[in-house]
Amino acid sequence: MKHFISLNDPTPGEILGLLDLADQLKADVKAGRPHPILQGKTLGLIFAKSSTRTRVSFEVGMYQLGGHALFLSSQDIQLGRGESIADTAQVMSRYLDGIMIRTFAHQDVLDLARYGTIPIINGLTDLMHPCQVLADLQTIREHKGRLQGLKMAYLGDGNNMAVSLLHGAAKVGMDIAVATPASYACDTASVAEAKATATQTGAKVIITEDPRLAIQDADVVYTDTWVSMGQESEKAEKVKQFGAYQVNTDLMALARPDAIFMHCLPAYRGYEVTAEVIDGPQSVIFDEAENRLHAQKAVLVRLLAPDYKG
């Protein structure tokens, strides 16, 4: 891997290798074993969108790996005054060992990778959220012992989370059923990519408007906020259209009895999920949040210390 931009890019083997490394790094932290693999390395963190989990996990991750993270708000650097992505990428490549960017337009990430000479990590765009899904896969494997052959149901908005879950599930051979209202369906190109991958890994990709069909016999039930950052003006309309997709006890009863519930956070109880579910015994949301740290550290090691054999 040269960059980490989309989960459609790595091979299934590379994804599983990242998960194995994430597990190793997590075990090291729990055992108090330091691993300064990135000593002397510096990661720039460009934020056009605010964040809790992304900023804290990347800063702490670089610290634990012996490196340094530099927070760069888009308003604090010349991007906020109109400097081109191309110029920014080339300048940053002279200073930094890698860049993580959390932004709106997916093209900004692609352009950083195109014009820069250092690894680029997609911390979130309006199209994809691969770091979150890598942590999700780690969490599922921890709780279920495997990935291949499981079924995930995603209910709600066909947003960046849905797209990256499609890519990630298909790559590791996990069946995925995505249920959204017709007017909020996933990006068609991303669906086609996931279906093409699924033919190679044996996964099934189901796209439907029926949340009850999607969740039937699911091992993993996933949802996300109905109103993503920058879409606040759409809230009233979305609340009307998404009511049937709320993950509640009635819908969870259609999943397998040992199904786990996942949410990338932040969550809005009473909208996309009820408190009974997200705060109940099937919820693993805080394991997910923790694993952002470990999964992203694995990405950092693979990109910034590619010769590391641990």
Is 224 an annotated catalytic residue?
A: yes
292 is catalytic: yes
**Rounded Cα distance, 15 and 116, in Å:** 24
Question: Residue 310, class by beta-carbon neighbours within 10 Å (0-12 exposed, 13-18 middle, 19+ buried)?
Answer: exposed
- The catalytically annotated residue of 141, 263, 292, 294 is 292
Q: Is 138 part of the annotated catalytic residue set?
A: no
114 as an active site residue: the answer is no
Q: Which of 3, 53, 97, 102 is catalytic?
A: 102
Q: How many residues can be counted in the chain?
A: 310
3-state secondary structure string across 6-49: CCCCCCHHHHHHHHHHHHHHHHHHHHCCCCCCCCCCEEEEEECC
Element spanning 70, H or E:
strand 68-73
The catalytically annotated residue of 3, 53, 129, 302 is 129
Of 106, 187, 224, 302, catalytic: 224
**Of residues 106, 264, 294, 296, which has the active-site annotation?**
264
264 as an active site residue: the answer is yes
Q: In the annotation, is 263 catalytic?
A: no
Active-site choice (64, 126, 132, 167): 132
- Give the Cα separation of 215 and 182 in Å (integer): 17
Are the beta carbons of 127 and 106 closer than 8 angstroms?
A: yes
Tokens of 234: 């759409």
Catalytic residues: 102, 129, 132, 224, 264, 292
